[in-house]
Structure formats: structure tokens, C-alpha cells
Chains A and B, each alone.
Chain A
Amino acid sequence: MRAVVWKGRNSVAVEEVPDPTVLSARDAIVRVTSTAICGSDLHLVDGYIPSMQEGDVLGHEFMGEVVEVGPGVDPAKLAVGDRVVVPFPIACGGCAACRAGLWSCCENSNPNAGIAEKLFGHPVAGIFGYSHLTGGFAGGQAEYVRVPFADVGPLKVGPELTDEQVLFLTDVLPTGWMGAEMCDISPGDVVAVWGAGPVGQLAADSARVLGAHEVVVIDKEDYRLRMAADAGHRTLDFEGVDVRSALLDITGGRGPDRCIDAVGAEAVHGSPHIHAYDRVKQAVRSETERPHALRQAITCCRSGGVVSVVGVYGGMIDKFPAGAWMNRSLTLRTGQTHVHRYLRPLLERIERGEIDPTRIITHRMPLTDAVRGYELFKTKSDGCEKVVLTP
């Protein structure tokens, strides 16, 4: 089959690889009908998440049709022919974390848990196409994919909705939603969202659905800010204004009540000096992230507010504003998305038309054009916000 393969730092290719087979009793094989490129794929491709290997199949946002199930899958739960969306974290459903709804912290789904534990202190769940640290599972930017614990993760969807309407249930919609949900939004709250990529856009939409008085989206790309403005959000260009002053102005000096970091490890700072400081520390590996968005969110958030982090971090950060965080009673909440929690409720919101995740799609192309898709997305060329690939 054809698949998008990691060839080395900043290099991907579409190559012929073996078809997947059932390795474990609770596996299913899914024929992929739609898959997308995620911002976190860029972190993998450019080498900021460790433990990628040449030949790794990428992709953790995918859906399709079940073509084979292992002998351990209850046919009442999943059967050949079912149309499914597949959550990006792999979760067993049987451990304490899964039972508690912390699906992305599944204690059993990562065969390389011992390695993850060394880096993170405790292990994390397996994730499709997302380095060997999260298990070394082949991803879904491919014609077929093996789905472990297929009786737990995949959500069956009927034919009434298109692939594009439900594809983002796999990751970016629940991720944006969880970012907003962690904010515990109250009436009157102003929510600031750093990052107008797909997750930031959907976090902003989610914050509005959850009752925010106003949502302010911060980025520097005109086309991304326009996209947020078209969806009815207020926008700030961090290269054009001082973000803190602008947020104080919008909120009558209070600061945003809730702040969402939808940027993560590879932020760009408005000041070239500060950007260079972190970029150099990253290059010599004394810091693995450039946490400008997180720092700014913490500094801007009103006292007693919540800073919710759904942008991806993989390692260590430098100059964490602990003083602001501690002295001003801020709550910091975060997590890899517990996608399984949100599948059905968000599917229902899509059906009711409360959220339309298709608004972020800017590019559609065959899987064979994936290299061009990655390039457009990485360089933010041609107004690229979200690339959907069809095998």
C-alpha cells in the first residue's frame, strides 16, 4: 500500500510499504477514506519530538471502513463494513486511567512505556504515527491502518454526514473543545486563544458554544486571522500590536479571564531577540521548546484565571513565569486530548449544526500529493490551514 513515510528531519515521502495485518486479537484493519495533516505532524517532521525513525508511517487523523477484525473484537461493537472515525490516542479501556476517562494516559497501550516513563516520569498512551516514544504505531496517512483495541476507540458513523464533517473528531475538534472545556467558562468571560491554526480556530468556536462573552484569537498570519474573524471572533496580530496592552484594552484592564495556548512547542515571538534566545537554546538542546505563547498567556491572564494548554510540548521549557502563575492564583490545565470522551457529544453537536469543523479545510488532495501538502502547511503558503488527503 501507499503511505506517507518519515525519511529524516524535514523529509517525508509517499512510498510503498507492506499492508497491515492483525497482530493482536482486538485489532481491526481500517481502509482509510480520509486523513489529514496535523500541526503536531510538523513537530514530528522537523524533529522536535524525539524518537522518530526512518520509515515511520505518519498520520493520526484518519477515518475509513473496517475491512478486517481480530478474533477478540466483539462483533456487536465493531464489524467489517462499519464506517468509523478513529481517535488519535490508543486506549485499552480496561486500566484505571481509561476508566477515569483519561484516555490519552492509558496505562497499557504503549509498548515503549518504559522509554516514555524515563522522559515524562510516567508513561503515556500509544498514539498512531507519532514517534516511538508513543509506541511506534504506524499512522493513518496510508491506504490501510491497523487499529489496536478496536472495540474501544473507533466511533461508528452513519452515511448522513460526509467524511469532512466527521474527520476532525479524530483530533483537532476534541482538542480545541477540551482546550475550551478546561477553561470552565462562566457568563461574561473573555477567552483569549493563542494560535489560529486548526486547533485554535476550533478552540475559539468551542469557547463560544460554551458561553464565552467574547473570544480573541492571536496569531500573525493574516489569512488565519481573517478566517477567525469570518467565524465571528475578535483577532489580534501579535506582530502589529502589543498583545498584553491590546488584551487589557479589550477587557477594561482586567485581562482575559481564560487563556488557551493552541500553539505549543514551536511558537514564534514578536520580538526577534527573545525568539533568538529560545531558538539558540533549542539548537544546543538545553531547551526543547519555544514557549512564547505559554509565557504570554500566563502573563496576560487575569488573576485567578485559567490557562489551558492544548498546544503540544514534548520536553523542557526555560524561563517559565512561575512568579506570575503562583502569585496571581492562576490555574494551569492541560493534557493530550482524551478524544474518546468527546466523540459522541461532539458528533451530536456537528449533527445539530452547533459546530462546523469543515470551515478550517483549505486544501484537498490525493494522498500521493502529501509531500506538497506538508510543504504548504509548514510554510503557511497558499493560505494553507488544513490539508485533507484522500488515499
Chain B
Amino acid sequence: MDLTATTTVLAPPEEVYAFWRRLEVLPQFMAHLEQVRTTGERTSRWRASAPFGRSVEWDAEVVDDVPGERITWTSVGDADVRNEGTVRFTPAPGDRGTEVRVTLRYDLPGGVLAQAVAKYFGEDPHQQLDDDLRRLKQVLETGEVVRSDGAPGGKRARGEFPQHAAQPLTREELAELRREEVPA
């Protein structure tokens, strides 16, 4: 399964590259990622949410890294779902910032878990990656992922309807929101 998405961020390529290169930040805006932990100069351990409250983990390695231009990473070892990704940063014309283009490839050979993951991504996985990049833009241009009463969960707001009503959350809902956001 190949996914691509693009956005333009009002910041220089070097800055957007530097943000992304700290892979630990990816879960801030990528909905399915729970944690990315750096384990070496080029290696990292990734954990993503999977169906039925489970998560999947894998090790990844940066295999191509051109500061200010692109980063490519790939899963290594016996990852449950082999995957790789590339992000490219190019200057947008006329001081419009940086065009960010992401390609993700998931190797889904037909195993039960792979099928479940494919299903988990839903009928429109491109929309998810689009929303991920929208949140990247929010973080870089405003400092954080935008929240409303209808979509209070930040990156977990998948735009699913019906949402929470556009009225303030109850104490209990707020407590639950904060519990869910404690990094695991």
C-alpha cells in the first residue's frame, strides 16, 4: 500500500527538515503513531496503534538523509508490518515556504495482522496522511495541533461524525482526555 500527501509550510526547508529529523516529534501530528524513540544516530524504535487496542512495534533506520532536502527511513529486522517512508522538502516559489511531500509504503503481504492494519487505515488512508500533514503544518505554524470542543482530541480527531457537540467538555470528559494524552 503506497500513500502520498503534500502540504506547504510557511517556514524554510532547513527548519522543517530539522523538525522532522527529530523523529520523536512524529507522533505529535501522525495519528497512528504512539511513540518514536531514538536508539542510535540512524536507528529508532517505533510504536503504532493497531486495531482492537493493540499496538505494533518495529525498529527503523534512516537510510538516506540530506539535510534540508530529504529523509528516507525503512523498517529493519522482522517488523510485523514492513514499511518505509520518504519525506522531501523543497522551497516553494516566491517565499511561500516549504513544500513537504511524503510517501509511505506498507508491505501488506496478506497476513492476518497486515489485513487488520490495512482495514484499520480505512477506506481512505490518503485522507489520514493528508490530515497528518495538516497537523504538521499546524504545529510548525502555530505551535500545536488545533483543538475545538467538537474535536477536542487534537490529532485523534479524525473528523468522524458525529463529533462531540460544540459545547465545552464536562469535567469527566476533560479528565479522560488528559489521561489519554499522558505519553506512554
Answer whether residue A138 sits at the interface, using C-beta atoms and an 8 A cutoff. Answer: yes
Can you spell out 17 A-B residue pairs with CB atoms less than 8 angstroms apart?
A18-B169, A56-B166, A57-B167, A92-B142, A96-B96, A107-B137, A108-B137, A112-B148, A114-B130, A123-B134, A126-B146, A132-B163, A136-B164, A136-B165, A138-B149, A146-B149, A146-B168
Specify which chain A residues have a CB less than 8 angstroms from the CB of B148 in the assembled complex.
111-112, 126, 135-138, 148
B49-76: CB near A (< 8 Å → 1, else 0) gives 0000000000000000000000000000
Specify which chain A residues have a CB less than 8 angstroms from the CB of B162 in the assembled complex.
53
- Distance between Cα atoms of A123 and B137 in the complex (Å): 13
Contact of A23 among B96, B152, B163 (CB under 8 A): B152
* Given known A-B contacts A26-B143, A136-B149, A55 and B130 have beta carbons under 8 A apart: no
A135 CB, nearest partner CB in chain B, Å: 5
A115-B167 in contact (CB<8A): no
Contact of A115 among B143, B159, B169 (CB under 8 A): B159
Specify which chain A residues have a CB less than 8 angstroms from the CB of B142 in the assembled complex.
26, 92-95, 108, 149
* Given known A-B contacts A51-B161, A149-B142, A57 and B166 have beta carbons under 8 A apart: yes
Answer whether residue B83 sits at the interface, using C-beta atoms and an 8 A cutoff. Answer: no
Answer whether residue A20 sits at the interface, using C-beta atoms and an 8 A cutoff. Answer: yes
Beta-carbon nearest neighbor of B7 in chain A: A107
A132-B161 in contact (CB<8A): yes
The residues of A with any CB-CB pair to B shorter than 8 Å are 3, 5, 17-21, 23-26, 51, 53-57, 72, 92-96, 99, 107-115, 123, 126, 129, 132, 135-139, 146, 148-149
Answer whether residue B127 sits at the interface, using C-beta atoms and an 8 A cutoff. Answer: yes
Q: Identify 5 new A-B residue pairs, CB closer than 8 A, beyond the known A55-B166, A112-B163.
A: A18-B169, A94-B141, A108-B146, A135-B151, A136-B166
Specify which chain B residues have a CB less than 8 angstroms from the CB of A95 in the assembled complex.
10, 137, 141-142
Specify which chain B residues have a CB less than 8 angstroms from the CB of A129 in the assembled complex.
166
Q: Main secondary structure on chain B at its contact with chain A?
A: loop
- Distance between Cα atoms of A139 and B166 in the complex (Å): 8
A114-B10 in contact (CB<8A): no
Q: Main secondary structure on chain A at its contact with chain B?
A: loop
A68 CB, nearest partner CB in chain B, Å: 13
Answer whether residue B147 sits at the interface, using C-beta atoms and an 8 A cutoff. Answer: yes
Answer whether residue B179 sits at the interface, using C-beta atoms and an 8 A cutoff. Answer: no
Specify which chain A residues have a CB less than 8 angstroms from the CB of B163 in the assembled complex.
53, 112, 132, 136
Contact of B141 among A92, A123, A136, A148 (CB under 8 A): A92
Specify which chain A residues have a CB less than 8 angstroms from the CB of B164 in the assembled complex.
136
- Distance between Cα atoms of A25 and B145 in the complex (Å): 10
A332 CB, nearest partner CB in chain B, Å: 26
B137-A111 in contact (CB<8A): no
- Distance between Cα atoms of A347 and B168 in the complex (Å): 31
- Distance between Cα atoms of A123 and B144 in the complex (Å): 18
Answer whether residue B174 sits at the interface, using C-beta atoms and an 8 A cutoff. Answer: yes
- Distance between Cα atoms of A147 and B15 in the complex (Å): 29
B147-A111 in contact (CB<8A): yes
B12 CB, nearest partner CB in chain A, Å: 14
B138-A108 in contact (CB<8A): yes
- Distance between Cα atoms of A135 and B159 in the complex (Å): 9
* Given known A-B contacts A25-B143, A72-B143, A95-B10, A18 and B166 have beta carbons under 8 A apart: no
* Given known A-B contacts A53-B150, A53-B163, A112-B150, A20 and B144 have beta carbons under 8 A apart: no
**Of A94, A112, A136, A146, most B-chain CB atoms within 10 Å:** A136
Answer whether residue B157 sits at the interface, using C-beta atoms and an 8 A cutoff. Answer: yes
B174 CB, nearest partner CB in chain A, Å: 6
- Distance between Cα atoms of A168 and B66 in the complex (Å): 52
Beta-carbon nearest neighbor of B162 in chain A: A53
A138-B96 in contact (CB<8A): no
B130-A21 in contact (CB<8A): no
B167-A3 in contact (CB<8A): yes
Specify which chain A residues have a CB less than 8 angstroms from the CB of B138 in the assembled complex.
92, 108
- Distance between Cα atoms of A264 and B8 in the complex (Å): 33
Answer whether residue B85 sits at the interface, using C-beta atoms and an 8 A cutoff. Answer: no
Answer whether residue B125 sits at the interface, using C-beta atoms and an 8 A cutoff. Answer: no
B10-A54 in contact (CB<8A): no
A69 CB, nearest partner CB in chain B, Å: 15
A57 CB, nearest partner CB in chain B, Å: 5
- Distance between Cα atoms of A53 and B149 in the complex (Å): 12
Specify which chain B residues have a CB less than 8 angstroms from the CB of A126 in the assembled complex.
146, 148
Nearest first, the 3 closest Cβ-Cβ pairs linking A and B are A136-B150, A55-B165, A111-B151
Beta-carbon nearest neighbor of B164 in chain A: A136
B91 CB, nearest partner CB in chain A, Å: 14
A173 CB, nearest partner CB in chain B, Å: 25
Residues 95-114 of B at the A interface (beta carbon under 8 Å): 96-97
Residues 80-136 of B at the A interface (beta carbon under 8 Å): 96-97, 127, 130-131, 134
